[in-house]
Amino acid sequence: MQLGMIGLGRMGANIVRRLLRGGHECVVFDVNPDHVGALAQEGATAAMSLDEFVRALTRPRVAWVMVPAGDPTEQTIMALSQRMDADDIIIDGGNSYYKDDVRRARALKERDIQYVDVGTSGGVWGLERGYCLMIGGEAHAVAHLEPIFKTLAPGLGDIPRTPGREKLGGTAEDGYLHCGPAGAGHFVKMVHNGIEYGLMQAYAEGFDILRNAISQDLPEEYRYNFNVADVAEVWRRGSVVSSWLLDLTAMALAEDPTLSNYTGFVQDSGEGRWTIMAAIEEAVPADVLSASLYARFRSRRAHTFAEKLLSAMRQQFGGHTERPTGG
Amino acid sequence: MQLGMIGLGRMGANIVRRLLRGGHECVVFDVNPDHVGALAQEGATAAMSLDEFVRALTRPRVAWVMVPAGDPTEQTIMALSQRMDADDIIIDGGNSYYKDDVRRARALKERDIQYVDVGTSGGVWGLERGYCLMIGGEAHAVAHLEPIFKTLAPGLGDIPRTPGREKLGGTAEDGYLHCGPAGAGHFVKMVHNGIEYGLMQAYAEGFDILRNAISQDLPEEYRYNFNVADVAEVWRRGSVVSSWLLDLTAMALAEDPTLSNYTGFVQDSGEGRWTIMAAIEEAVPADVLSASLYARFRSRRAHTFAEKLLSAMRQQFGGHTERPTGG
Amino acid sequence: MQLGMIGLGRMGANIVRRLLRGGHECVVFDVNPDHVGALAQEGATAAMSLDEFVRALTRPRVAWVMVPAGDPTEQTIMALSQRMDADDIIIDGGNSYYKDDVRRARALKERDIQYVDVGTSGGVWGLERGYCLMIGGEAHAVAHLEPIFKTLAPGLGDIPRTPGREKLGGTAEDGYLHCGPAGAGHFVKMVHNGIEYGLMQAYAEGFDILRNAISQDLPEEYRYNFNVADVAEVWRRGSVVSSWLLDLTAMALAEDPTLSNYTGFVQDSGEGRWTIMAAIEEAVPADVLSASLYARFRSRRAHTFAEKLLSAMRQQFGGHTERPTGG
Amino acid sequence: MQLGMIGLGRMGANIVRRLLRGGHECVVFDVNPDHVGALAQEGATAAMSLDEFVRALTRPRVAWVMVPAGDPTEQTIMALSQRMDADDIIIDGGNSYYKDDVRRARALKERDIQYVDVGTSGGVWGLERGYCLMIGGEAHAVAHLEPIFKTLAPGLGDIPRTPGREKLGGTAEDGYLHCGPAGAGHFVKMVHNGIEYGLMQAYAEGFDILRNAISQDLPEEYRYNFNVADVAEVWRRGSVVSSWLLDLTAMALAEDPTLSNYTGFVQDSGEGRWTIMAAIEEAVPADVLSASLYARFRSRRAHTFAEKLLSAMRQQFGGHTERPTGG
């Protein structure tokens, strides 16, 4: 079927490529004409303006917006909706806050434009492996888009079936899922990313403990000089901590077990923060997910005011003068 | 080759089975003669006493001890070593504290008996899938045992190779690894389990947030009634949080998405605790791994004294009388 | 000077009492006429309706709103403002979210009504000891209210002066502080309560460790049967952990060292949650304040879904069946 | 009464001074003869060797050891005990691990030498204010030392009595407490310090949130430029978070609200670590105390291996290249 894509960064462009390979027709637009041109050469229909983009789409139009979350997404969707008609569908495929989805869906609903939010996981691997799609919106709009989702998702592949799944039915094992009304897709994607932070931090702390086993303040016979690349590799085989993130860890450590090219400054995106806010709104204890987020915050500071205050209290109480020594 | 196994619980018995299938000869002993009999019927050589067990082994003897960690392991190894000779090998395949390994290896070394510690991951799945083996001890003893490890480990299988791994060599991608001197195997297994706790808690908190999205203290349009079984399933396909633990989660939720058969009392074994102690000895921040352990501690109490003290302070300061209400 | 008080719960009524004792004139209103009558007997001017309340105040009117945060505060302030004139002052003395203050101040500003937010700490002790006041709003409005704040705050008292404070000047050591524009008072009060949660949890965990020292899974000579009431008392004298919260702890433990009358269900108010949200908006790591909040969330559940999921994963992987046993 | 002091660092010297002022007789020894000479001038009896020290003491001898925890304490006590006789008393006033106390008490008991462990809190303020003393050992030895403890402790002073305390009796409100058998004093001091870490971290995080309120990623009207020195001061007056640590915070912030002279590298001593180990041995959740310790560990590293691994995973999955940007 036909789909329009606005935003041809890595994610948007690869989604278009996977759709083209699947036999779909794609109209593409981006503020950068080079990106448009590149995909036109791969078979997409180029649009050089938003107006042209909308005109090139057949009604009911389907437009996937894949631009940065926040203001760019908000403005693109609003500009787009002003050019669209009843029964057209706007998909927000970015990393929006689910509360923004609810608000936008309600606004568009007044003009009978459908709003569908799609949380997308797959990273740079998605083009080949397929994307895991978490979808929110009205059932009939989601149903209309099913050919798109089927092509983008990984499908059953060679991943073993979950026992009992055959009785449950549904599309989850194809790799896409209608999670609920507007916002539900991004809510599930938000929690997905919150979990991702937690998983990453669990591995990170574990490997930190392995790496520092040699410098332990213990007698020599309790210190170990572990080959962390080999440890990551062996855990991929038959161990309960095997996972895709461990596969990626093994790749990084195989390249350089000291990770000396990485600064250790770690960014965070909105989803990790929103996950904690949702936990607080639900009164759910989320110790691990919070600690994972805070580890990233801390990684981006040389020192916190908090730490200086600790030093200051120690000085005032015990006359301790802190000296910068190793850990 | 020949191997003796002491301790025929689920793990010990399945290791014997996998070795028998691989063409090895196994001498087996257990305090429960029924367990011995069962494995004898599957092709193992039965020993009805420790003396008989030792006599049935050819020198240099290889004896794998697979009994509960702590006193049972300590006593079995000590009793066994008194019956063994120079160049014999004792394998501690249980979940021992690595400092006990160092101490025992040193004690046995005085009589030239080799001590090899093997951390084993694989659960009830290991018999079919193979076990991930983390090994500590002297290089020549570990080398002597290689045929055993090769059979027990999963091997390359159909898991994609880590790029660059072909240049690194070693046995890690076969699923077993000589990690270092005595204690190194159990140290790596300890951290492995510490990570496991963290991964499990990350998923657990995430699904808790999903599950409670319906009861959120927010306007109705922000509440979602998620099908958590479907969410677990869809994440198995192309998402970055896919893992074996997620596969197991999907199985459990496919059986019963309310998990109403589980009490929520969660045990912990020594490794989670020792991981935190190692982190502290190394001055490595381990927020996530600690929080994961504490969540289990808390799960086993109706209420903590800490919580009562919080209530008491609130009462003394603000005259608040706590009433047991929902979260 | 004259002040009107709306909301005569414990906090509102005691503030009126302290003002009356200080020679101020108070007009009082509450939805419950009994509360109004009681304070009228103590010298306040009774108002039986909002209209009567506003009429009884001399211009520029000063009205302190002390009703529950959220909708009651919002509605009261809006109803009140419709009856007020330019240069009148509305004080929100409750526990409002600082973002609501900013919004309300802006709305009232359009009609030249001043909005002052006052975070108040003091609990049931404030009537005698005085209240610590954290104030937000425009400078001239805050200056106008200074006689009120001076009476309510504890003043210098016999608390030793901070060295260097004499050079800094200001009102902080009198116990009230103009913290900044609208919302600043409640922001400081919010963080104050966040810290309070952290302090309480630190004591709570420490006393939990003392209390359980007797049940430690260690040889008998390492177990202690501490008198926690005595420990709290001795720490009040010369120890660095002495504090008002420790005084309150000592009181509660002197009454009953087992705290058996407390359920251990611990409520939380908005400020603890908002503190975490502010930390996240600022990218400040707040591990301790978050953990303190989560401990309260957890205290209000019998078991979390998270814990059941942990049990479920253990069952699926290792065949472990969890049994409810003591910690 | 007579007391010998070994170790004349700041704590040891000040304890001697307070005892001399209280009319006690002190024999003093230190590896640094200058320290001995200084106190001799203030009225103490100088000993220039351990032998001389022991000879100068009247039987039953009382010797207080105040040297760094770990090896120095162990060696001093062992050397001292070899020169002592039945019924003599050795006091370990340092920060020893309580398990070392149990072991040492048992060893000395064989020769009928009494071992008393005294946890001491008071910092540089103790000389004037008195020391809070937490005491472990046999009842008759502790009773024999009571005149010493009475002089060192702050006594009732002008701190308000805890209601009900008059009925409970005991020495706690004098500022010293016999907590239990050997190790009990240091156990209570250990938990005291664990709580101290938690309290400090709670304040530190709170002030960090205040300090960063100006740089919040929010519209301008939600940002505040707080005077943190004034906030600390106002909280000292009538607020529930008032404490000695807050007094010290107010002092430090009055000197320099930016704390720019402090590096933010924060040391930790053994007690914080041992508190966590005790919590783990007791299966008590100690989220806040652990997080406080880890914040100190983290403060002493430029970047952790954990953080680099997070960056590496992000790179492998999403092609994200981390750039060092502000938090």
Compute the distance between CA of residue D261 and CA of residue D243 in angstroms, rounded to an integer.
Answer: 24
Beta bridge partner(s), residue C18: none
Residue A235 confidence (pLDDT) above 70: yes
Tens-digit pLDDT profile for residues B33-72: 999 999 999 999 999 999 999 999 999 999 999 999 999 9
D313 to A262: CB separation less than 8 angstroms, yes or no: no
DSSP letter (8 states) at residue B81: H
Q: Which of helix, strand or coil describes residue C112?
A: coil
CB proximity B318 to C under 8 Å: yes
User: What is the predicted pLDDT for the residue at B88?
Assistant: 98
Compute the distance between CA of residue A1 and CA of residue A62 in angstroms, rounded to an integer.
Answer: 9
User: What is the predicted pLDDT for the residue at C321?
Assistant: 73
Q: Which residues contact A157 (CB under 8 A, 6 or more apart)?
A: A130, B237
A305 to D212: CB separation less than 8 angstroms, yes or no: yes
Residue B325 confidence (pLDDT) above 50: no
Enzyme catalytic residues of C: 189, 196
Q: Taking CA atoms, what residue in D is nearest to A259? A: D308
C311 to B125: CB separation less than 8 angstroms, yes or no: no
Q: At what angle do helices C270-282 and C287-299 cross, to 10 degrees?
A: 150
Residue C326 confidence (pLDDT) above 50: no
Burial class (CB in 10 A: 0-12, 13-18, 19+), A110: exposed
Q: Which residues contact D33 (CB under 8 A, 6 or more apart)?
A: D48
Tens-digit pLDDT profile for residues D105-123: 999 999 999 999 999 999 8
Name the residue among A268, A280, A286 with its Cβ closest to that of C277: A280
Which run of H or of E encompasses A176?
strand A176-180
Quickly count: other Cβ atoms within 10 Å of residue D326's Cβ.
Answer: 9
CA B22 → CA A191, B152, C190, distances in Å? Answer: 44, 8, 66
C168 to D131: CB separation less than 8 angstroms, yes or no: no
Give the angle subtended at the CA of C96 by the CAs of C264 and C188, to the nearest 5°.
85
| Strands annotated E in chain D | 2-6, 25-29, 45-46, 62-65, 89-92, 114-121, 132-136, 176-180
Residue C322 confidence (pLDDT) above 70: no
Cis ω before B60 (30° cut-off from 0) = yes
Q: Which of D16, D125, C302 is nearest to B302 (CA)?
A: C302
Residue D24 confidence (pLDDT) above 70: yes
Measured in residues, chain B has a length of 327
Tens-digit pLDDT profile for residues D40-56: 999 999 999 999 999 99
A297 to C276: CB separation less than 8 angstroms, yes or no: no
CATH superfamily of A189-301: N-(1-d-carboxylethyl)-l-norvaline Dehydrogenase; domain 2 (1.10.1040.10)
Q: Taking CA atoms, what residue in D is nearest to C105? A: D221
Average pLDDT of the residues in B119-144: 95
Cβ distance B132 to A232 under 8 Å?
no
CB proximity D314 to A under 8 Å: yes
User: What is the predicted pLDDT for the residue at D13?
Assistant: 97
User: What is the predicted pLDDT for the residue at A323?
Assistant: 60
Q: Which of D120, D124, D209, D296 to mutate to test the interface with C (most CBs of C within 10 A)?
A: D209
**Which partners does chain B have (≥3 C-beta pairs < 8 Å)?**
A, C, D
User: What is the predicted pLDDT for the residue at D189?
Assistant: 98
Compute the distance between CA of residue C302 and CA of residue C297 in angstroms, rounded to an integer.
Answer: 11
User: What is the predicted pLDDT for the residue at D123?
Assistant: 86
Q: Which of helix, strand or coil describes residue A184?
A: helix
D309 to A10: CB separation less than 8 angstroms, yes or no: no
pLDDT band at A326 (very low <50, low <70, confident <90, very high): very low
CB proximity D286 to B under 8 Å: yes
Q: Which of D71, D262, D293, D315 to mutate to test the interface with A (most CBs of A within 10 A)?
A: D262
Average pLDDT of the residues in C94-98: 95
Quickly count: other Cβ atoms within 10 Å of residue B178's Cβ.
Answer: 27
User: What is the predicted pLDDT for the residue at C55?
Assistant: 97
C162 to D247: CB separation less than 8 angstroms, yes or no: yes
Name the residue among C296, C316, C327 with its Cβ closest to that of B297: C327
User: What is the predicted pLDDT for the residue at C217?
Assistant: 78
Chain A partners within 8 Å of B243 (Cβ): 199, 241-246
Compute the distance between CA of residue C121 and CA of residue C34 in angstroms, rounded to an integer.
Answer: 26
Cβ distance A62 to A38 under 8 Å?
no
- Rg of the Cα trace of chain B? 24
Q: Which of D281, D287, D313 to mutate to test the interface with B (most CBs of B within 10 A)?
A: D287
- What is the overall mean pLDDT for chain B? 95
Q: Which of D46, D25, D19, D24 is nearest to D35 (CA)?
A: D46
Cβ within 8 Å of D, B 200-259: 240
DSSP letter (8 states) at residue C195: H
Q: Taking CA atoms, what residue in C is nearest to A299? A: C285
Q: Which of helix, strand or coil describes residue A310?
A: helix
State residue C135 phi and psi, 5-degree precision: -120, 135
Lowest mean pLDDT among B143-152, C61-70, D7-16, D209-218: D209-218
Tens-digit pLDDT profile for residues A144-164: 999 999 999 999 988 999 998
B262 to C320: CB separation less than 8 angstroms, yes or no: no
Measured in residues, chain D has a length of 327
User: What is the predicted pLDDT for the residue at B67?
Assistant: 96
Compute the distance between CA of residue B130 and CA of residue B149 in angstroms, rounded to an integer.
Answer: 10
Distance to chain B for D318, nearest Cα, Å: 10
Catalytic option among B25, B138, B146, B196: B196
Compute the distance between CA of residue C215 and CA of residue A86 in angstroms, rounded to an integer.
Answer: 69
Domains of chain A by residue range: 2-182, 189-301
Regarding the domain delimited by D2-182, which CATH topology (the fold level of the hierarchy) does it fall under?
Rossmann fold (3.40.50)
Residue B323 confidence (pLDDT) above 70: no
Quickly count: other Cβ atoms within 10 Å of residue A8's Cβ.
Answer: 25
Cβ distance B175 to A234 under 8 Å?
yes
pLDDT band at C307 (very low <50, low <70, confident <90, very high): very high
Locate A52 and state its tokens.
């042209």
Tens-digit pLDDT profile for residues A239-265: 999 999 999 999 999 999 999 999 899
**Which partners does chain C have (≥3 C-beta pairs < 8 Å)?**
A, B, D
Compute the distance between CA of residue D93 and CA of residue D119 in angstroms, rounded to an integer.
Answer: 6
Q: Which of B238, C250, C134 is nearest to D160 (CA)?
A: C250
CB proximity D125 to A under 8 Å: yes
Residue B178 confidence (pLDDT) above 90: yes
Q: Where are the alpha helices (DSSP H) in chain B?
A: 10-21, 33-41, 50-55, 71-81, 98-109, 126-129, 139-144, 146-152, 165-168, 184-211, 228-235, 244-255, 270-282, 287-299, 305-318
D284 to C208: CB separation less than 8 angstroms, yes or no: yes
Do β-strands D2-6 and C176-180 pair in parallel, antiparallel, or remain unpaired? unpaired
Q: At what angle do helices A287-299 and A270-282 cross, to 10 degrees?
A: 150
Residue A322 confidence (pLDDT) above 90: no
Compute the distance between CA of residue B35 and CA of residue C48 in angstroms, rounded to an integer.
Answer: 85
Locate A66 and state its tokens.
């894949």
Percent of chain B topping pLDDT 70: 98
**DSSP symbols for B190-223:** HHHHHHHHHHHHHHHHHHHHHHGGGG-SS-GGG-
Tens-digit pLDDT profile for residues A39-70: 999 999 999 999 999 999 999 999 999 999 99
Locate A286 and state its tokens.
């989320």
User: What is the predicted pLDDT for the residue at A256?
Assistant: 95
CB proximity C78 to A under 8 Å: no
Tens-digit pLDDT profile for residues D193-216: 999 999 999 999 999 999 999 987
Our answer to whether residue B173 is catalytic in this structure is no
